[in-house]
Chains A and B, each alone.
Chain A
Amino acid sequence: MSAPGMLDTVRCVAGRDLLAALRRRADVVTTLIFFVIVASLFPLGVGPETAVLRMMGPGVVWVAALLASMLALGRLFAGDYVDGTLEQLTLAPQPLSMLVLAKVAAHWLATGLPLVVVAPLLGFQFDLGTDALLILLASLLLGTPTLSLIGAIGAALTLGLRGGGALLSLLVLPLYVPVLIFGAGAVEAGAAGLGAAAHLSLLGALLLVALVFAPWATAVALRIAVE
């Protein structure tokens, strides 16, 4: 029997993870509720001044999205690590980095994309205009996959460690900073009339760089974790 092709395997791994996410919808919903609650706390904390809220809205939505996507990272490899699937994946003839890419893509579809979909709702809470909302959507669409890709490295490194959650945030949040700066900056630049194209291009560049390097680094980290 010949080994299945690489694309078949990638599709199979991604499909399996998506199916698992669909069967455990509570996990996805919890992340979404966390996203909405964190963003809703800010108007309560700083007061309901419309002008202030409109100014900090994009940043708050971005920070909330960043925290929510970090919160979901723990699930990326943990289940597979516990039940031994991960060990089998590292033994597969297909390159581990491609399998990682499949898992990250499925993870983003299950947790990152819902965040992007819900974000306009939060934008209305912060009284953002239509243009600002569209830029926010575009920046989140380009930025959240990068967050998942970078976060995968941290998730792989902290597999099975005590205090994994806090450690994961310490490792991953500093690396998230450029995405946050350009993501929130895109909306601000758009609102200031400077045009968001430069920031969005940089976000796209970050995504491409992360696409090339992050799965590979994650694969190295996974091999360290399971050996």
Chain B
Amino acid sequence: MTSRINWFKYSSPSTFYPLAGRLAPWFFVAAALFTVAGIYVGFFVAPTDAQQGEAYRIIFIHVASAWLSMFLYIIMAFWAGVGLAFNTRLSSMMASAVAPTGALMTFIALWTGALWGKPMWGAWWVWDARLTSELILLFLYLGFLSLQAAIDDPRRADKAGAVIALVGVVNVPIIYFSVKWWNTLHQGASVSLTRSPSMAATMLIGMLLMALGFWMYSIAATLLRARCIILERERHSEWIGQLRESRQ
């Protein structure tokens, strides 16, 4: 029995390439809209925090990037794992395409955290469980990227990267729960699904808008990077030759 929908239509680089090209601009537009709206809400609508004053407003960038740093690692490990298990080329390409954005988000989260920490804790950096585990996450991203960069054969690079990505995935729950498990300087989670949020509704809306904006940006950047990787790896294939001819 054949299914009416071909679920795997876009799992081939030749069909995914034009799709990614069509989708990426829309995600960039959505990213710009959400981010502008989020910054407007964050800076002009959300009230000043009772304890932390105006300095808390960096939360709108900090939390969104910290969320994505963890989500993107899981997504990267997922695609890398799929690529390793089913030997699908596009999955491994997606994993390689997600990694630089994930590393960027981790770096932004650490950087904005330092900027927030200075006025609040009086120090740019403290050796707190969450900060340390986020720093390790950055090292894991860098390890994945350098391992792939060091291997010339793309097939081996994909598979070796998948192993290290999957081994490193242990760290993500440790970061996420570190503020619960250890009573640390870093404040607990501001947003939870199970209880009412510990912040004003406008702050929450601003944060969610920024998170959506960061999501859209990450998707758009990943799609563009995936297109570049596809072009690079499939440059000897027939359909890329046809693509080049149709452009001329």
Binding site for B on A (CB under 8 A): 153-154, 157-158, 161-163, 167, 170-171, 173-175, 177-178, 217, 220-221, 224-225, 227
Contacts and interface: CB of A to CB of B under 8 A. Distances in A.
State the majority secondary structure of interface residues on A: helix
A158 B157 CA distance: 10
B160 A170 contact: no
B136 A220 contact: no
Nearest to B174: A178
B136 A163 contact: no
Interface string B168-204: 1001001000000000000000000000000000000
A153 B143 contact: no
B146 interface: yes
A140 B142 CA distance: 28
Interface of B: 84, 132, 136, 139-140, 142-143, 146-147, 150-151, 156, 159-160, 163-164, 166-168, 171, 174
B139 A221 contact: no
B156 A170 contact: no
A124 to B, nearest CB: 28
B143 A174 contact: yes
Given A221-B160, A224-B160, A158 B168 contact: no
Nearest to A159: B160
Query: What 9 pairs between A and B have smallest CB-CB spacing?
Result: A174-B139, A224-B159, A171-B143, A174-B136, A161-B150, A157-B160, A170-B143, A221-B163, A167-B150
Contacts of B143: 170-171, 174
A153 B167 contact: yes
A162 B163 contact: no
Nearest to A221: B163
Contacts of A154: 164
A224 B163 CA distance: 10
Given A161-B150, A171-B164, 7 more contacts: A167-B150, A170-B146, A174-B168, A177-B132, A177-B136, A217-B166, A225-B160
B167 A174 contact: no
A158 B147 contact: yes
B238 to A, nearest CB: 27
A215 B147 CA distance: 20
21 contacts: A153-B163, A153-B164, A153-B167, A157-B147, A161-B150, A170-B142, A170-B143, A171-B147, A171-B164, A174-B136, A174-B140, A174-B168, A174-B171, A217-B166, A217-B167, A221-B160, A224-B156, A224-B159, A224-B160, A224-B163, A225-B156
Nearest to A162: B150
A170 B161 CA distance: 13
A191 B132 CA distance: 24
A159 to B, nearest CB: 9
Contacts of B132: 177
A171 B139 CA distance: 8
Contact of B139 (A158, A163, A173, A220): A173
Nearest to A220: B163
Contacts of A220: 84, 163
B108 to A, nearest CB: 19
Nearest to A214: B167
